[in-house]
Each structure stands twice: as structure tokens, then as C-alpha cells.
Structure 1
Amino acid sequence: MKNFFTLQVLTLIMASIFAVSCTQRDQDIPEFPEGTTEYVNAWVQDSMKRYYYWADQMPAKPNYHLPVKDFFKSLLSPQDRFSFIVNTEDSSTYPRSVRNMYGFDFAVLQLANGEIATVIKLVLKNSPALNAGLERGMMIKKINGQAITAANVGQLTSSIADHTVLELTVGNWVNGSIVNEKNIMVYYGFSFQQPIMSKIFEKNGKKTGYLYIYDFPDGMTPALNQKFADFKVAGVQELILDLRYNYGGSVSSAAALCSLIPSGISAHSPFIIYKGNKNGGEVKRTFSQQIAYDSDALDFNTLHANALGLSKVYIITSNSTASASEIVINNLKPYMQVIQMGEVTLGKDMAGFIIDDKRKPRKISWQIHPVIYKVFNANGGGGYNNGIIPQTVVSEFMALPLLPLGDPDETLISSVLNTIYLKSANTGSFDKKPDILFQSDLPPFTEIGK
């Protein structure tokens, strides 16, 4: 089932793909009969010894008789939150989440008065959730007939992946209460590619461009180029990037976005440094080189012709801002002032590529998604495995109901606009932020393969 879920949501950044040979295997790894679990596990170990960032921490004598997923887990470093393995012939081995199954995300909050509120924070375009009538800002009162409480939130949410239909009781938040309740059925299905949202805000003659970017798929450079061309024609002087729900994706697309923002860069300006194990070494790439890894991308010079040439950029983040979107934040810093507002990012300062059996015919259907590189910017800055901390911490849950993304009065956007136009962030009183009991797009979803 190719469309079981959007792999990009959880996969590591794809830096490059090359064949993994099974003919020059490590002599310390025993040989097993083809077709056995042990045979697969030996292939997994051999591949990981070559490419895994923490290869030197792997056990010398693992238990080859374990099921493949358990064997893979036994090889991983305690520092590794992101490597995973799937069987391409068994959809049940793929990671599942509310977003990739149904096309929405939610957060369970404990309000100041002790009440539990479950708010829908993201609904994807062209998704089962949108087709069912869900909207950002709606409140969920029940999941499959059960009211959500602090005691059962873990059990209720963990059971979602076991269903192909969700029955939700939802309503609107008005003056601290849920009104207009109704039951909605959301069916498991596929969510299609998400568009880039753009707006231009203006006050006192100053124009601010706003981009909400959900992810970084390959092939997005024409859309980015058009958005920046429109901004340039309109005379945009400030830029807000909203990456709050952006899990990442293609580093090439992230580099393309970065090429469209600052002044003082060229095709040959350094963009990223990859540092791997003793086999992988260190790899440096310029803006032009990294963009070119996407064969469908517009080249650097075409993109840079529409660059805004700014000296600073405002970036909105949350705990689910990850991977390539964190690279945007970190790798712009050598070239301009990055003003980050929102919450600490996830902390995925790493990249990798997919390892699978390239033999024809293929003998092993498992596919490995390991951490292979740590990533750094042109100045060598990185090491943000605990997340990138914003200069101004603001929670989008400080004001309910949540307003639509792109609304100038939405909590995070209004905080940035106040910083731009009034020179002060309107963050409200931070101690009034509700306690967050659960978010459907945060760990434990990153247990993937563990």
C-alpha cells in the first residue's frame, strides 16, 4: 500500500541515495541461509555498520534470532530518537499517526480551572479530516463515544491507530464552553500534497510577507519562486516563515527557500556540512550544490533572481518543527538575523538516506531509515538535538479558540506582527499558558521502529 501514509512525515532527510552492496559484507558477521530472519538481520547489521552515525556503539555480538524490528532496535544508540525500519511488503510495520492516517492533529490541554480541552490545531488540505468537516480551532469532546479526561487520554489516543474510522464529537469554543456539538465520522485515507499559503500584511506603508510552509517535498522550487516573485513585485520589506507544523523533508528544497531570503550570498556560498561516521566522513555543499540534488529544482541563479535580499527573517516554530525546517533556521544564521518566535523545535539535527536491497531480483524487502549524518551550518554551528530555542517563547494555546493559520490576529502571527510594527512582542502572560497533556504530532510518535 504505497499510500498507507505519507512517508515524508517521519522519514529522515534524504541527502542522497546509493546502492548498498551485499557482496562485500563484513567478515565478522556470520552467514545464514537466504530467506531466514537471521539472513535479514545480518544484512541489517552489515548496512548499519557501514553507514549508521553511531556505528561504533553497536553491539559486537547481537542476537540474530530476534524478530527484525527487535533486532534493529538492539543496534540503536540511546541517543537515537529517529532511526526506523519498515518492511515494504507489510504495511503494519510502518509508523502510524493521526496526521498520516486521517489528516489532522490535536492537543489535549488542562486549563487553569482544571478542565480538559481537546483542540484541533491542524487540518490538512485534501485530507479525510477536511472532507469530514473538521476545522482548526474546533474542540473534540469525545473520541469513539468516550469523553476525554486526564486519566484516559493516553489510552484513547494510543488506540486511534487501531481504527480505520474515527467517530468524533466536536463543537465550537465560545466563552469557555463547547457549543454546537455534532458527531463526525473521519475515515482513514490519504492526504495529498499541501499548498504553500501566502499573505501580505501592511501597516504604515510597510509590507510584510507571510508564508506558511507545511513541508519540504522535492519539486517545490517553482512554487517557492512564484511566491517570492509576487512578494518582490509587491515591495515586501519583512518576511515571516511559519514552520510550526513542518516535519521537514528535502534538504534541497530547504536550501532553495534559504536562497530566496538573504542578501550577500552566491551560488558558491557554503550552505551545509554533513558529518558522518568514519566511513562517511565530512561532506560540504554550497547552496547551488544542495539545490541541484533535486533533479526537478530550478537552479540557484533562477531562484536568486527573485530573492528579497533581507537582513532579517522572522520564523514561527513549535515542538513539531523538525529536520529540514530546523536546517532553515540554523543555516540562515550565518547570513542574516533569524528572529524565532513560538516554541522550542523538536531537535532533529541529523540527516540520512534510505538503505534497501538494490539486487535484482531483490532478496530482502526491509528498508532502513537510519541516522547517517549530523548537520551543521556554514559556520559549523549545530548540535541542537534538544531543539532550537526561540528568542521569544509564545504558545499558540494561550488564546482559545485557535484562529485560522494566516489570520493576523492568530496568537503567534500577531506576536510577530507586533514585533515588526510595534517593536514589542504581544505575548500576553506566559504563566497563563495551559498545561499540555498530549499532542498527537509529538513523541511518542517518534518511537518509529523502537
Structure 2
Amino acid sequence: MKTLKALILLCAISVFTTSCYEDKDDTQVSASEINDFVWKGMNVFYLYKDNIPDLANNRFTSNKTYAEYLRSFSKPEDLFESLIYERESIDKYSWIVDDYIALEQLFSGVSTSNGMEFRLFLQPNSSTNLIGIVRLVLNGSDAESKGLKRGDVFNAINGTPLTTSNYTSLIAPSSYTINLATYNTNGTPENTDDTVVSNNTSITLNKVQYAENPIYKTKIFTVKGENVGYLMYNGFTANYDTQLNAVFANFKANNVKHLILDLRYNPGGSVNSAIILSSMITGQFNGEIFSTEQWNTEFQQAFENENPELLINRFTNNNKGAALNSLNLNKVYVLATNASASASELIINSLDPYINVVHIGDFTTGKYQASTTLYDSDDFGRDGANPNHAYAMQPLIFKSLNKVGNTDYFNGLTPDIELKESYLNLGIIGDENEKLLAAALATIDGSISKLSAIKSKQVETIKAFKDSNSFEPHANEMHIYKKLPNELIKRLK
């Protein structure tokens, strides 16, 4: 079947009578031509190939049966979705796009945004009415320029009350007006008597092309005469690795002895950026195993037989030749919540065998798989991509294991100090009195009484509904750019 597949694109596509798509130059391309790319890419790379009968190498006995199979899917998206393993529970993260230019911009940190990150909650005594609470206002964004603040509450958009059935349509437009409200607990711990009242204030937000710098906040505190570095880092974006190194140069110049890494809203990103950040936190493990990869059975065996080093990601001491500013720490304090995913979890899991990682916050998302971008080319790389369409896939290709083999954390990583954010009293990011940061500082201080006082504070019982990260396309992503040997790919095709 491996040789059969190489012939199919040449001898079968021309006879297909399926839907056609147009690229930006109005060149028509058969849906089945794209379907051929989809099936072949998934057959070679997909992590869960062994669990999908339609991806078996012996699935088709002839060109004809393969062509009929491709023709049975009128859209590439339908074929792709049919090949996903347990979409609701195991593979929630593979996807396909029809515009890889926009995808590449997203991975570089450029997207369309108004700069408001928020969480939706059910209103008291309601199963349908919602409120939104702003958790973060991005630096230099439209939301910041309009004066929006962390902790602001809104209960309507464009004058329409938010509900479980309309929230997606209300936040979809490029411009909308949020109607602010006041949440009143009436001084009781129960939420049955809580009220939400509109306060006749509104803010119009506009989504514009926005390049988010993931380095949101840095500060240096002093605890018991020693400097404590604080970094809120909101995305593993390779374009900002040099700036990240500059942050650590400042920490190093200020003789930082402790580090608080705030990943509470970080949905992930580049594996390489995670390696670089971990290497700057440490520095004493250059060349040692950061993480290993487990691919589908066929790919895994090929790696192990020919170049097992390709399955290993190692700590480094440089970024593209530039020396890293490493702190050589033996302990790090990581603030992480259920909005922390993929590469954020990779940091915690991969550092754990080497240093003391004190995880403060909540259980994380539970995403341990990584993906890569596949293009319609001979080796699935960007060079030589089919000019007749702009489809690309981002399937899960491997799962990450730390040095001692820990993976499959379906339910997220368990905090050492469990502490949930109080959305009705969020505090100011980077302020020493903000709940999660205060807990980290108290832990560094060794003050059991301070930590106990923080943990004893009442957490509101309003029921969370959705997080704004889940509305973003391809959130919770952990992707890798790895040049694989052409000979290996061609042999597996």
C-alpha cells in the first residue's frame, strides 16, 4: 500500500467528480486532491493512527477503492474529522485550516483581538443567564486604551443580556459594546441572595490585528533580604524568546535568588520556547533530557531504529547561538490554574525530576500532546506546498514525557498548594497582595501563618461556565517545528 499511495495522486485525482475549491488566484482544485493530502498526512503522522482503522496501511486494496473513499467526503474538513480519535475526551486539539497564512500569523503571536480576556459565570439562581468577569487586559490593546480593568463585571453586550445560548454570537463581531454591572454578595458567603445590577456604564471594544507580547509583567521583590523575580508569561511564542532572555539578564544582574513564574492564563505554544525558558530557570542541566516524545507505533519504531536522538528534547545553553541568561535555580514557584495548558504543563512536568517545582493554584488543563503544521508538499513541509490551495493540518503527532516517563495527565497536574482565584476579588497582577502571588511570597518567606490566612479567605461559589481561551481558535496549543529527515518521511508515505 505504501507504493500504491505514491501513485494515487497522479492517476486518480483527474477522474474525481467532487466539489472544487478556489484559491486566492481563483484556481480550482478538487476537494479530493486536498483529501488525498489529508489522508496521507494523517496516515504518516497522526499520534492515534493505531486506533483509527481507516488509517491502516492495508485499509485500501486498490487505487479504485482509495479514490472512492476520498470521493465520499465532499469537504476536507469532513474527512479530517472522521479520522480523529475520541474527539470529546482524548483528541480535543487536532484541527485543519483552509488558510495557513493566518495560521502562521497566529503562531507568531499576531491575531485579531480587542485585548479583553474574561471568564463567564452563571448568574445566581439561574441556569441560563451569564455574567462575564474580566481577568486580564492585554498591554497596548484597545481594551486597555478604553480603560477596562481586571475585575470588571459585564452582564450584557450591545444591551442584550448574556445567556448560555447567545454568548458566542454576541462576542463574535469585530466590534461590540459591553454593558458593565455590579455584583453584590450582600455580605453573605452563599450566592442565593447575590444580585447583579447594571450600572449604566458601557465600553465599546474593537478587535484589531494585535501582536501580543507574552511577557506581560515583570517585577523584583525582596523577601528576607533576597531578591525574588516575578514573571507573568502568557504564551510560548518564539518571536519573543530574545526579549525573554533579556528579562532573565535583568534578573541575573539583580542577583535574583527565587523565581515566581506566573502561567495562570498561559494556554501554551512553542515547545522550543518552553525548553529555552526552563534552561534559563536552571542552567545546570545543559544537554540533559528535558522531555522525550512518543509518536505512533510506526514513526516511533523508525526513530528508534535510525535516529533515537530525534525523540529527545534537551536543555540548552543558547538560543540560535546567543547565550542564555540562566539563574541556576534549584527551586521555582509556578502559578498555574485550569487555564494553564500544554507547554505550560510541559514546563512543570519536565522540570519536576530536576528541581523542586512548587505549583501554586489549581489543577491544570491536562494537555500533554503536541502537534505540528502539515502542508501539502512531498515532505509535508512549507517549502514546495501545493500552490493551488491553502489548506494545512495541525494534527497531534506525539505526546510528551518527562525524564522519568510521566505523561497522560488527563485531569491536569496537581497543585502543591491548592488555591483558587477569587473572581469577585481578583486583585492586581504583580501586586504583592494579589492572592496567588501573595501565597508564593509567603511560601518563600516561610510564613505558615501568612499562607494559612490567604488560604482561609472565602472563595465565591459562583459557577464557572466558559473561559475566553476556549473561544480562541487553536487555544491550548503545544506545537513543535522539527525538521524530519526526508528519507524517513518518504519511506513512511
Q: 1:66–1:406: structure 2 CA closer, same or farther, 3 Å change rule?
A: same
Q: Is the 8 A contact 2:293 2:401 kept in 1?
A: yes
1:409-448 to 2 correspondences below 5 Å: 409-421=433-445, 422-423=447-448, 424=451, 426-429=454-457, 432-442=460-470
- Of residues 358, 361, 381 in structure 2, which corresponds to 1:339? 358
Structure 2: segments with no counterpart, 5+ residues: 17-28, 60-68, 187-195, 304-310, 378-383, 477-493
- Of residues 306, 309, 315 in structure 2, which corresponds to 1:287? 315
- Of residues 118, 139, 148 in structure 2, which corresponds to 1:106? 118
Q: In the alignment, which residue of structure 1 is the partner of 2:193?
A: none
Alpha-carbon distance between aligned partners in 1 of 2:185 and 2:462, rounded to the nearest angstrom: 16
Moved more, 22-31 or 325-334: 22-31
- Of residues 15, 19, 30 in structure 2, which corresponds to 1:36? 30
Q: Does 1:144 align with 2:144?
A: no
1:359-378 to 2 correspondences below 5 Å: 359=384, 362-378=387-403
Q: Does 1:73 align with 2:81?
A: yes
1:37-52 to 2 correspondences below 5 Å: 37-52=31-46
Residue type at the aligned position of 1:56: D
- Of residues 140, 149, 163 in structure 1, which corresponds to 2:173? 163
1:169-248 to 2 correspondences below 5 Å: 169-170=179-180, 181-196=200-215, 197-248=217-268
Q: Is the 8 A contact 2:156 2:178 kept in 1?
A: yes
Residue type at the aligned position of 2:142: P
Q: Does 1:406 align with 2:430?
A: yes
Q: Is the 8 A contact 2:331 2:356 kept in 1?
A: yes
Deviations 1:394-448 (CA, angstroms, capped at 9, x unpaired): 221x262322211111121112222222143522356644321222223796699
Shift of 1:273: 0.7
Q: 1:87–1:156: structure 2 CA closer, same or farther, 3 Å change rule?
A: same
The TM-score, its normalising length taken from structure 1, stands at 0.81
Q: 1:108–1:209: structure 2 CA closer, same or farther, 3 Å change rule?
A: same
Q: In the alignment, which residue of structure 2 is the partner of 1:10?
A: none
Shift of 1:182: 1.6
Shift of 1:349: 0.5
Alpha-carbon distance between aligned partners in 2 of 1:262 and 1:77, rounded to the nearest angstrom: 37
Residue type at the aligned position of 1:133: G
Q: Is the 8 A contact 2:130 2:155 kept in 1?
A: no
Alpha-carbon distance between aligned partners in 2 of 1:264 and 1:53, rounded to the nearest angstrom: 33
Alpha-carbon distance between aligned partners in 1 of 2:212 and 2:465, rounded to the nearest angstrom: 30
Shift of 1:244: 1.0
1:275-354 to 2 correspondences below 5 Å: 275-281=294-300, 283-288=311-316, 297-299=319-321, 302-303=323-324, 306-354=325-373
Shift of 1:50: 0.4
Alpha-carbon distance between aligned partners in 2 of 1:220 and 1:84, rounded to the nearest angstrom: 25
Q: Does 1:25 align with 2:5?
A: yes
Q: Give 3-state SS (helix, strand or coil) of 2:406's partner.
A: coil
Shift of 1:28: 8.6
Alpha-carbon distance between aligned partners in 1 of 2:74 and 2:95, rounded to the nearest angstrom: 16
Q: In the alignment, which residue of structure 2 is the partner of 1:13?
A: none
Alpha-carbon distance between aligned partners in 1 of 2:171 and 2:395, rounded to the nearest angstrom: 24
Q: Give 3-state SS (helix, strand or coil) of 2:396's partner.
A: coil
Q: Which has the higher contact order (CA 8 A, sep 6+)?
A: 1
Q: Is the 8 A contact 1:262 1:335 kept in 2?
A: no
Residue type at the aligned position of 1:409: N
Q: In the alignment, which residue of structure 2 is the partner of 1:7?
A: none
Q: Is the 8 A contact 2:420 2:459 kept in 1?
A: no
Structure 1: segments with no counterpart, 5+ residues: 1-21
Shift of 1:324: 1.4
Shift of 1:350: 1.2
Alpha-carbon distance between aligned partners in 2 of 1:26 and 1:403, rounded to the nearest angstrom: 59
Q: In the alignment, which residue of structure 1 is the partner of 2:487?
A: none
Q: Give 3-state SS (helix, strand or coil) of 2:427's partner.
A: coil
Shift of 1:336: 0.2
Deviations 1:130-158 (CA, angstroms, capped at 9, x unpaired): 2333221111131121223xxx2x22322
Alpha-carbon distance between aligned partners in 2 of 1:161 and 1:23, rounded to the nearest angstrom: 49
Q: 1:377–1:369: structure 2 CA closer, same or farther, 3 Å change rule?
A: same
Alpha-carbon distance between aligned partners in 1 of 2:232 and 2:423, rounded to the nearest angstrom: 20
Residue type at the aligned position of 1:406: G
Alpha-carbon distance between aligned partners in 2 of 1:28 and 1:361, rounded to the nearest angstrom: 16
Q: Is the 8 A contact 2:155 2:198 kept in 1?
A: no
Residue type at the aligned position of 2:225: G
Shift of 1:380: 2.0
Structure showing greater Rg: 2
Moved more, 346-355 or 175-184: 175-184
Moved more, 82-91 or 203-212: 82-91
Q: Is the 8 A contact 1:210 1:241 kept in 2?
A: yes
Residue type at the aligned position of 2:464: I
Q: Give 3-state SS (helix, strand or coil) of 1:239's partner.
A: strand
Residue type at the aligned position of 2:147: G
User: What percent of counterpart residues are identical?
Assistant: 28
Deviations 1:56-96 (CA, angstroms, capped at 9, x unpaired): 2224275632322122111100021000001018979x99x
Q: 1:312–1:91: structure 2 CA closer, same or farther, 3 Å change rule?
A: closer
**How many equivalent pairs are there?**
408
Q: Give 3-state SS (helix, strand or coil) of 1:25's partner.
A: helix
Alpha-carbon distance between aligned partners in 1 of 2:131 and 2:230, rounded to the nearest angstrom: 29
Q: Is the 8 A contact 1:320 1:442 kept in 2?
A: no
